Each structure stands twice: as structure tokens, then as C-alpha cells.
Structure 1
């Protein structure tokens, strides 16, 4: 324990002595300034070397970091890269952080006075330029909103981004709301198709449960709306996709019985007979007794599968196709034994459960969960549209 305290004590001292010189040598100039500034905020301690070195490290690292970031700003400003002003803004943020760290050094005021103390004006100007960039892209996409849903979505997102840079930049928030209705993917979930797997009544019940589960959930994403099949679907806007569903398989009650045999032995030996070892002497024959343990297994299974697919309403092409399924199983085991009961070593035989679930309870459980599965699958499928 004493060694542990000594180790952590030495580690703390070494950490306190860090002047940022290592970060400077590796070209991590911002980190070097931060560490040197932190070192100067501490007492010199038992070793003053780090405290003496820190101001030199801070100045060298600051100058290099400043030049590096200013060079990046000049290159970005002169370029044509989309949304470059957002990167320029990040550089000004880093310059401000760099300056704030350096300003903590009370003995650095003389040389630091040659550099800006604040970048607020540059940041304000850059915000305007970044907002204008986003707004211009949004305007180009907005012009295509009625014929291209993804363009409308792009317009919405870029209007919102412009407003994040400058609140209500050229009424960008209002323009975003104008674009939103055209950016939404509208999907109608059609009634279940007829099937031979379950009855028409059961099909209708399952359909009702599915629509109930869909109605309980929020929209999968801000750009997707799921509609039931009624006259109000789409709210006056075109329907893009139709989801079709059909129960394709129902295995109601499959039963399988199997068995396996095992020879078991007693843990101790018992007298099973006698034998003579000469004409006048008899000895007991001691052996482990055995028997045959037969284990029977009865398994009942059921399954319900529904296939879903989405159709593009304009082209009729299939967009996606996948199954959803539920299964249930019930198992019971029992045992019989033949042979010497002492081979059981006091263990009791398994008894069968005489009352398996009904096929109707199996079906109801699968049906209810399948409805929830469909709602979850639709939510996951359209979560990123």
C-alpha cells in the first residue's frame, strides 16, 4: 500500500511539472499552450524547471498555432469548397480558445499584445457567410420541391442550418416550414391481403391490431408519415409508397415426441451374490447396480409468418420486401426406469405436464406480438428516410 501511495505521489509531481514541451515537439501546438498555461497557474513546487520552461513553450507554441490556423483560414476563404465558412468559423473558435489560454499567463502580456485578444467580429462575419452559403443551397433545392422530395428535404435542412448560424436569416425558418410538406415521404399501409392460412375473421382481427399499434407510435422520422387506407391519406399531397401485407404461413400445432435411453449406475456398490474362493470359504460379490433410464420429450410448436413489401406508387416497383414472424413452443419431459431402483441414487423420475397450452392461446399470443412486430419493423424501416 505504501508503494502505491509513493507511485501516485511521484506521478502527481511529474504531471505538475509538465510544461507542454512534449506536445510542442510533437506539433500539438494548441495542447502545448494549454499545458504550459496550466503549469504557470500552479506553484513552482520542488522542481522549478517546468515552471521556468513553460513561458518559453507557451510563446513558441502560440506563435506556431496562430500562424497555422491563420494560414488555414486564408486557404479556406480563397477556395470554393461548399460550406467552407463553417470550417473557417471553427478555426476562429480555436483561435479564441488558444488566445484565452495564453492570456492566463500574466507575464506574457507584452508579446501577446501583438495579437488579437478577441475574434468576436470575425466570428459574427463568418456566421453571416456560413448562413448565406446554406441559404443559397436551400434556395436552389427549394425550386425543385414539387418534383423532387429529396430536394425539398435538402432545402428544409439547409434553411434550418442557415437559421442556426444566424437566427431567422432571411426568414429561413419560415422557408423551411414551406419546404417541409414537400419533403415528407407519405406511405399508406394497405389492409391485409386475403390468405388461406387463417380465416377471414382472424385476418380482419390481425389487421385491426396492426393499425392500432401503428397509430400508437410517433412518426418514424420527421420526414415520414404512415397513413391508414382512408380518403384522408396524404392530406392532399401525393402518396409515394404503399405497404402491402399478407399472412403467408400459419403452422398451428406441430407435435413431436422423442426419447433417449441412458444406463445409470449406483454411486456405491451392493451385494449382488456370493462366490466360493475355496471349498469352505464364501465371499460377497459387490458391484454397482444399474438400470435403464428412458427420458421422453414432447414438444409442441406453432408459427405465424407475415410478409411485408413496399411498392413505389409512381413506378409500381418494389422498394423492399421482408418477412415478419413469431413462433411459440411448449416442452414437457417425463421418465421411466427399468432395473435396480438403487441405481437412481435417490433421485425422482420426471413427470409429464399433462396440460399443454391450447392452439388458440398459441395463436393469440403470436398474433398480438406479430402486430407489434409489424409496427416496429415499419418504424425501423423508415427511421432514416
Structure 2
């Protein structure tokens, strides 16, 4: 009984697999395009497959009729973008034709698969005309949001019909009208001790902004670029250090009394090694040099002079050093204590280098803030 049950299962599975590969199941579900594709694939591998031939004949006629019906309905529609629906239907018909033409066995079933080359080209021209008109209308609205939509419509115009009228010129006009121009005023410091560190910070910010590409409708300019190109900004981003402290030094000394028992301190001819306690006084010095700053990022609308974004960004860097000295017997010290006792006090980095270090976390926060504000602006 189990053998019969297994046999029935494999027969059912085989029928199911054949139905899937010939496209019969897709045909029964009304997926005519899919059914045609599956039947074509089957006939390419098995040209005499009876079921696949029957499926192809039925599926192609039904698919063609469905697409032609969709085309007629789209043409009568009030949808302003109806020609793009027409294009989609023609393209699917032509794609089916290409698939059948690439399969010799299929051509014996569907000898002359229809193609609509001229009709497709005409539909693309009409769709491009609609997109172009929409773009012009939106561009004339005079605001940035409409200009962005205009840009998208002109791009679609070019995709539909290359070199339609002056589309490339309109794309450039729309982009220039849509783009947000942000002039960045760098943070300045008066002291020459920190000038190099500040220049490094500003250079990193400028490099990031010059390479910014996430939102193509936002462009950053430094003051020099803006002046040279005579840019009239939409926004001003002002960077300013509200406060910073570099090189605050703290030195802490702690003294430890050390003793270690059972240390060989001598030797006697009579009794051998002599063990006792060794002692030392260890002075450990911990030095910290702290640097920190507060950067104000303020974005101002150029026309209204209103603040549209403001953030306070903080950064801190602490440089540390440790050394020690001792008096007494070095055998009372651990290996670590002995090692630091051999170290000498190290000079901290220069003020400029310390400035760079505390601005690193500020830079990371600044980039994050700019990205979150402008990426989807």
C-alpha cells in the first residue's frame, strides 16, 4: 500500500512539474504573459512537447488580446499620463514577439507574432510631449519644489524620446531653479597656536561637502567658491566655536609604601640564605591634559534671515601620561611598578595637535547633523 501511495505521489508531482514548466498552471490562473514565457522555454528544450505547444497557442492569443484591450482603454482614459500605459502594453507585446522569434519550434505554433514598432515610437513621442508640457508648467510655478518635479518630468521626457525639442536645456534650467545653494562660513580662531589645527578641521569639512552627492539638489560652497562664482545663496551655514579650552593640565601624585616578605637579603656560611622583608616608597604621577570645545552650527535662510536649524556640538580629548619614581629596594616593586619607574615624563602634543583631537568628535557630529538635515531636504 505504501508503494502505491508513493507512486501516486510521484505521478502527481510529475504532472505538477510538467504543468509548471509548460505554463499550463499560469494559463489557468490568467497569467498569460508568464504562460507564454514558460511555454517558450519548454519548447526551446523540448520542441515536440505537445502540451507546451497547446499552451503557447492559447496563451499568446489571450495575452495579445488582453494587451490590445488595455491599449484601447488607456487611450480613452482621462489620465494625463495614459500614453505611458500604452507604451508599457506595446513593449510587452513586442517582448513576447521577440521571445517567440528566438524559438524555431514556437514559430511553427505562432508563425507571425505581432510587433508594434511604429505604434510604440508614436506613443513614446506623445508621452514625451505630455511630460515636457508638465515640466514647463511646473517650472513656471517659480518655487523649488515645483522645479524639482519639473526636472523629473524633463528627465522622463528624455528617457521616452531622446532629443525631444530643447529637453536638455530645460533639464538644466529646472535643476538650477531646484537646487539649494548653501554657503558655509567656516569657524575662525584668532590665536596662531590653534590656526593649523583649525585649518585641518575646516579642510575636512570642506572635503566632505565637496564630495557630497546624497541629495543632488543640494550644493555646498565655501565663501571663496561662492565669491568667485558669484553665487547668490539660499542658505548660510555659520560655523562658530562658542568656546574651547586647550591644554588644561592636571598632575596627580600618589605615594605607596611597599613591602615584600621572604626576599633573600643575604647568605650565611653556617645557615645558608637569609630571608627578610624589603621595603620601598613608590611615587606615581598621573598627568592628564584635557582639551574641549563647543561648536555652534547655525543655518540661516538668506532671504528672510531666519534661523532654520541650529545645533551645539561638543568634543573632548584627554591626553594621559604616567611615570613613577621610588626610594628603597627595587625588589619590593612589582614588574609593572618597576617598568613605570623607568619611564620619564613625556611632553604632551602641541596645542595645534590637541585642537585637532578634540575637533574629531565634533566633525563626526557635524557631518551627521548636516546629512540628517539635507539628505531628504
* TM, length-normalised to structure 2: 0.66
Q: Which residue of 2 aligns with 1:154?
A: 149
Aligned residue in 2 for 1:130: 127
Q: Residues 185 and 207 from structure 1, CA distance in 2 versus in 1: closer, same or farther, beyond 3 angstroms?
A: farther
Residues in 2 aligned to 1:168 and 1:357: alpha-carbon distance in whole angstroms? 65
Q: Does 1:364 align with 2:362?
A: no
Q: Is the 8 A contact 2:289 2:348 kept in 1?
A: no
- Asked if structure 2 preserves the Cα contact closer than 8 Å seen for 1:135 and 1:159, the reply is yes
Report how far residue 250 of structure 1 moved: 4.0
Change (3 A) 1:256 1:305: farther
Q: Deviation per CA, 1:170-216, whole angstroms, max 9, x where unpaired?
A: 111123233433333121212437xxxx8655676565445433544
| Aligned counterpart for 2:21 among listed residues 10, 18, 23 | 18
The count of corresponding residues between Structure 1 and Structure 2 is 317
- Give 2:6's aligned residue: none
Q: Is the 8 A contact 2:183 2:226 kept in 1?
A: no
Matched residue, 1:29 = 32
Contact 1:189 1:242 in 2 (8 A): yes
Say if 2:237 and 2:298, in contact at 8 Å, map to a contact too. Answer: yes
Q: Distance in 2 between matches of 1:29 and 1:299?
A: 76
Cα 1:210–1:355 shift into 2, 3 Å: closer
**1:232–1:246: structure 2 CA closer, same or farther, 3 Å change rule?**
closer
| Displacement after TM superposition at 1:152 (Å) | 3.0
Residue 342 of structure 1 corresponds to which residue in structure 2? none
What is the CA distance between 1:20 and its match in structure 2?
1.9
CA contact (8 A) 1:240 1:313 kept: yes
Which of 50, 53, 56 is the aligned partner of 2:54? 56
Q: What is the distance in 2 between the residues matched to 1:330 and 1:207?
A: 19
- Of 24, 27, 40, which aligns to 2:43? 40
Correspondent of 1:226 among 204, 220, 224: 220
Structure-2 change in CA distance of 1:321 and 1:62 (3 Å): farther
Of 247, 254, 260, 2:241 maps to 247
Q: How far is the alpha carbon of 1:124 from its aligned partner?
A: 0.4
CA positional deviation for 1:81: 2.7
* 8 Å Cα contact 2:84-2:123 kept in structure 1: yes
Shift of 1:58: 1.7
Q: Bigger shift: 79-88 or 105-114?
A: 105-114
Which of the numbers 106, 110, 113 marks the counterpart of 1:112?
110
The farther-off stretch of 170-179 and 133-142 is 170-179
The 5 Å alignment of 1:251-262 reads 252=246
Q: What is the distance in 2 between the residues matched to 1:231 and 1:245?
A: 17
Which position in structure 2 is the counterpart of 1:319? 308
Distance in 2, Cα, partners of 1:72 & 1:328? 67
Matches within 5 A, 1:1-385: 18-43=21-46, 51-104=49-102, 106=104, 109=107, 112=110, 116=114, 118-145=115-142, 148-192=143-187, 200-201=191-192, 208-216=199-207, 217-218=210-211, 220=213, 221-229=215-223, 232-233=226-227, 235-236=229-230, 238-248=232-242, 250=244, 252=246, 302-328=291-317, 355=346, 357-358=348-349, 360=351, 361-367=353-359, 370=362, 374=366, 378=370, 381-385=373-377
Q: CA RMSD in A?
A: 4.4
Q: How far apart, CA to CA, are the structure 1 residues paired with 2:368 and 2:161? A: 38
Which consecutive unaligned segments of at least 5 residues does structure 1 have? 1-9, 258-295, 335-346
Q: Which runs of 5+ in 2 are unaligned?
A: 1-12, 253-284, 324-333
* Distance (Å, rounded) in 1 between the aligned partners of 2:183 and 2:27: 61
CA distance in 2, matches of 1:71, 1:158: 27
